[in-house]
Structure 1
């Protein structure tokens, strides 16, 4: 059945709206599914290369052919759409089926595992069809009207084949929001999020240290997500490529940047920048901490000062972006940038605590950890909303059509031409072979990167 009334993106918007009224035949999806990345298996390898299995395994609690419709996610810098499927599992011992019911005073007999299925990969359909049951007559009528279903009458017992590979990926002549100013906003949020996450690496606003240790022992994160150690299925990548276990492909990346910083990957981690630009020292002895990190920030005996930079140190535009945020957060300079970001995302409680700390007020550790945790979630959600609303749809359009939208009139230039016009830009090896477009105050980069994936094999168990 050929259909030109609706694009795949529009269909996925319907799926997202009615996802609680759709169940997917997971066995059908797995039978023909082709991985788009490298398969990883649970465990670690010893010095002899032998695989050591975790002492726990997971078992499905929903032994059925059907699972709930997953959540759809657009990749941030490729024309890729993933469907995140959630399934209920329980923990059990590897050597015998004894279930693990309780860990650190918490019931863990009803956990979730999450598996990503790539529906569209780099602008190409990766899943040709979905077999599904629909429990909403309103959705059934809507999909029938759009030519997606050919069944005559609504029947909630019936399984429908929803063909995806005959749909255009996007609507022709689509229009997209302006991206002016978005890079700097996202960059500031990323820097502050990185600082906060570095503080919280081994902290929890709910559990104490001994409970976190118990979670790690049972392969659980502090958010009670399953977190088994995994490794690549192969040992030697060249051998895997030679014997056909792996194959390679070009993945086209689309990045948004400014005229000074090409993309967000140019920003170093919070701890790396801390080590580059600052010194942590003991307030009583003056002893310098050799490898400073924000994990030690709760130590009341430590203080921070700017690092004395040598004449050979080159200050970059990345440094100029990050340093005011760090200076404000660390209390070295009161420029208001951190408070402004936190207020914008609705996390001003952390801003008030930081202001109190800068005036010399003693802040309870549990209070600051709780405020940092809330702020981290709100910052990430704010950034995610920008990506989903304004950037990811644009990236998907460019990656799937190879064109900029009609309203974005810009001529492609090479890396050499971009470097000559915008001398602060820094290019990776892959980026040097790309094309660049100046759109307003932003730079859109399009470049190819080699990626590897595990050849198609039957997938019987995604755990």
Structure 2
């Protein structure tokens, strides 16, 4: 085997490209798997702390030794890599295992459940090796060339062990592109995405309201994903720490922000911002609607205006970024910002509908929901591409090495230094203990956060 080993990140990229040619021994993966989060169990607890089970459960259809290789993702703000494995399941009654075949006119005897396995957790290997079979000689040759396999001949019957714990996590010569402007781009997408999600919370472009109600009764989301209620396996976290059921660890978080906004967690939800800065009112009576939400915007009898703010209201940089997007989307100001974002991500149909609506054209609810659904998926995919291509690899490098890449020359600042130099930044308690780096027009912050995890080894993966 070649001594010139590729990095784990490079191997993950190969896995992602050729995942259809590799299957994983799931039983081997589960044998010594250590959770990196708190184990959650199905059900809800009553007032006495007793666990009430859902009336339905799931059974694996593909209860086999091998499963398709999952989808790998680098965390957005930690040196963590997860593998999401899809498993085929069917619904059945919890009491007697009677199968549930159909819900609201939809066959549900072949659904998907998703298990998340953490391969690298906070810069440390969590899965030492994977046992796989390979169906493509091209992939076998590539992995052999990269020093990952030491077998001489390709054998599609053979099981290969791919060691992960002997690979460098990142390449020594890793290079990263500029992150200038990325935060503001992601912030605008996040705000618009939040507006759309608030519109679509109880809406579907496929199913009607009564069907969605039936889905909820059967623990299905509107996208027909399984969505059982879950709770922590413990009832008292202090007692769980004492008896060793769970333990705590310090997790390093790496966030990208601007010189005005430290990170994306500073943005409130769309409905919270709507309630703070706007008023919904009845067009005929003028009655103010208390606790407005974007779901109400579909009501043609309602209109929106700016809220009269008191002199005590402090306008932040977050407000200044969000308000033009809201104003444009709500038709209070035509500044072109929403159209620009939508066209950039390829959501031209929604951009046209919003333009038609502002000119007074009546747009049907179904047409608007369909356009919002398509646009929202495109927004989310555009943002995900930025993270996986440009931000997550950088975050992973910093989290693994504790250093910025060589090409990013920046001196570490304490909280006091950063707060004095950039007075618009707002810091949480955890963030105040961190270090901050000015890189171009961006601020990279590194801080620790206490996280808890279940200590027992377990084949179940609700982490």
TM range (shorter): over 0.9
Query: Deviation string for 1:21-41 (max 9, x for gaps)?
Result: 111111111111000000100
Q: How does 1:45-444 map to 2 (within 5 A)?
A: 45-444=45-444
Give the deviation of 1:462 after TM superposition: 6.2
Q: CA deviation at 1:456?
A: 2.6
Q: What is the Cα-based RMSD across aligned positions, in Å? A: 1.2
Give the structure 1 partner of residue 447 of structure 2: 447
Secondary structure, counterpart of 1:188 in structure 2? helix
Question: What do the CA deviations read for 1:249-290 (whole angstroms, capped 9, x no partner)?
Answer: 011000000000000000000000001101111111111111
Give secondary structure in 2 for the equivalent of 1:413. coil
- Separation (CA, whole Å) in 1 of partners of 2:19 and 2:274: 44
What is the distance in 1 between the residues matched to 2:192 and 2:267?
Answer: 11
Contact 2:19–2:70, Cα closer than 8 Å, also in 1 = yes
What do the CA deviations read for 1:80-107 (whole angstroms, capped 9, x no partner)?
0000000100000101121111110011
Structure 2 residue runs of 5 or longer lacking an equivalent are: none
Distance in 2 (alpha carbons) for counterparts of 1:184 and 1:462: 34
**Which deviates further from its counterpart, 352-361 or 198-207?**
352-361
Q: Which runs of 5+ in 1 are unaligned?
A: none
Displacement after TM superposition at 1:457 (Å): 2.4
Q: Is the 1:2–1:166 contact (alpha carbons within 8 Å) kept by the matching residues of 2?
A: no
Task: Assess if the C-alpha contact under 8 Å between 2:5 and 2:148 holds in 1.
Answer: no
Contact 1:173 1:406 in 2 (8 A): no
Q: Deviations over 1:113-154 (max 9, x none)?
A: 001100000111000001111111111122122221121211
Q: Which moved further from structure 2: 145-154 or 126-135?
A: 145-154
Indicate whether 1:9 and 2:9 are aligned: yes
Decide whether aligned partners of structure 1 residues 3 and 165 sit closer, same or farther in structure 2, where only a CA change above 3 A counts: farther
Choose 425-434 or 359-368, whichever is displaced more.
359-368
Q: Is the 8 A contact 1:4 1:167 kept in 2?
A: no
| 4+ residue segments displaced more than 4 Å | 460-463
Partners of 1:3 and 1:148 within 8 A in 2: no
* 1:389 positional shift: 0.7
TM-superposed deviation, 1:2: 8.4
Aligned ranges 1:29-48 → 2 under 5 Å: 29-48=29-48
Please, what TM-score do these two structures have when normalized by structure 2?
A: 0.98
**Whole-angstrom distance in 2 between the partners of 1:388 and 1:64:** 31
Paired residues, number: 463
Verify the 8 A CA contact 1:345 1:378 in the aligned structure 2.
Answer: yes
Secondary structure of the residue that 2:131 maps to in structure 1? strand
DSSP-derived class of the 2:287 partner: coil
- Return the TM-score normalized by structure 1: 0.98
Q: Is the contact between residue 342 and residue 375 of structure 2 (CA under 8 Å) also seen in structure 1?
A: yes
